[in-house]
Amino acid sequence: MKQQLENIRLQALSSLDAANSPAELEELRVKWLGKKGELTAVLKMMGKLSAEERPIMGQLANSVRAEIEEKLEGRKAAIGAAVLEAKLAAEAIDVTIPGDAVTLGHQHPMNMVLQEVKDIFVGLGYQVVDGPEVELADYNFTRLNIEEGHPSRDRSDTFYFSDDDSVLLRTQTSPMQIRFMENHKPPFCMLAPGRVFRKDEADATHSPMFHQIEGLVVDEHITMGDLKGALISMMRKIYGAESEMRFRPHHFPFTEPSCEMDMQCHKCHGTGEIDGQVCSTCHGEGWIELLGAGMVHPKVLESCGIDPEKYSGFAFGMGLERMAMGRMRINDLRLIFDNDVRFLNQF
């Protein structure tokens, strides 16, 4: 019996050492210490022993049981710790791994330039106003002194909504002059940015939809000098004090006299060519037309109830895309509308 107990002790301890899961341990506990276990089986035979032997064997059996129990507890703790360890390792969150960066967008280059222009004019005391893109031909043409039959009224140039050509997508922001003068008495300085539409094929400098910024100043004694002063100071702020501008005589039905203002081409610096090739940005002109302007026609003032004998004014309308192209050194207008992030990220 002593040998039996010794065998149980050795086998139980080594099997417990080899176990490596809580389930295995439980199985071994039942096998060695359970009611139908090995140790119990040996103890059941105690009755057959002599009175001298019984206490000795009893003691031995108890010490074997105690040793197995102790081992069991030890293995339980060790396996529990290992299981916990593995679980923690599997669930670990490494707080030192850099997170996914959120990419922040920014203003579209056109909006940046628009904001700059607005800031400059607001600084000069201009009021910024908004108006409808779907406009009456009356405001877009007639009251701006643009006669019936004028080429800009042609159906091949203008998007009309009605058969009688009375409603259209505005072809310019100039109708805002009329809308503003209907509701305001001079003196005033107004700025009206917005979208305009023309049946133009898209190329490097044209698009069927583009943006204009209209300006209008009416007061007593306003002269062409005020017009040039306002426009030159604005351009110098945007393009730098060194930038070259020129005014050319022109004709607009709603201003008299009228002019256009050009900026020296930022691509070829006025030479009209690059490496012997015609400059694609200014088509060899050396200059890029930025705006039309002039002194408000007396007929236009009159049609809005403003006395042209007492008041005079100047007006201008500039192309925002062209301004942005010069400001941001963009060579093709279509890039502005493509919204390719690889392009936009550069600004």
By the criterion CB under 6 A, which residues form the site for ligand DAH?
172, 174, 214, 252, 255, 258, 292-294, 315-317
Which CB atom, from 120 or from 300, has the smaller least distance to ligand DAH?
300
Nearest-approach distance from CB 173 to ligand DAH, in angstroms: 7
Nearest-approach distance from CB 144 to ligand DAH, in angstroms: 8
Count Cβ atoms below 10 Å from residue 285 Cβ, excluding itself: 15
Which CB atom, from 109 or from 313, has the smaller least distance to ligand DAH?
313
Where do we find the tokens 């709603």? 254
Structural contact between residues 312 and 340, judged by C-beta atoms closer than 8 angstroms: no
Which CB atom, from 106 or from 206, has the smaller least distance to ligand DAH?
206
CA proximity to 126, closest of 270, 226, 2, 251: 226
Nearest-approach distance from CB 292 to ligand DAH, in angstroms: 3
Nearest-approach distance from CB 258 to ligand DAH, in angstroms: 6
CA proximity to 304, closest of 231, 254, 248: 254
Nearest-approach distance from CB 268 to ligand DAH, in angstroms: 24
Residue 250, classed as helix, strand or coil, is strand
Which CB atom, from 37 or from 294, has the smaller least distance to ligand DAH?
294
Structure tokens at 153: 């009224």
Nearest-approach distance from CB 198 to ligand DAH, in angstroms: 9
Which CB atom, from 120 or from 315, has the smaller least distance to ligand DAH?
315
Which CB atom, from 181 or from 315, has the smaller least distance to ligand DAH?
315
**Torsions phi, psi of 81, nearest 5?**
-65, -40
Amino acid at 300: V
Separation CA 270–CA 187 (nearest Å)? 38
Nearest-approach distance from CB 264 to ligand DAH, in angstroms: 20
Respond yes or no on whether the N-terminal peptide bond of residue 253 is cis (omega within 30° of 0): no
Which CB atom, from 38 or from 260, has the smaller least distance to ligand DAH?
260
- Return the bridge partners of 296, or none: 255
Count Cβ atoms below 10 Å from residue 112 Cβ, excluding itself: 15
B/e letters for 120-137, b = 16+ CB within 10 Å, e = fewer, are bbeeeebeebebeeebbb
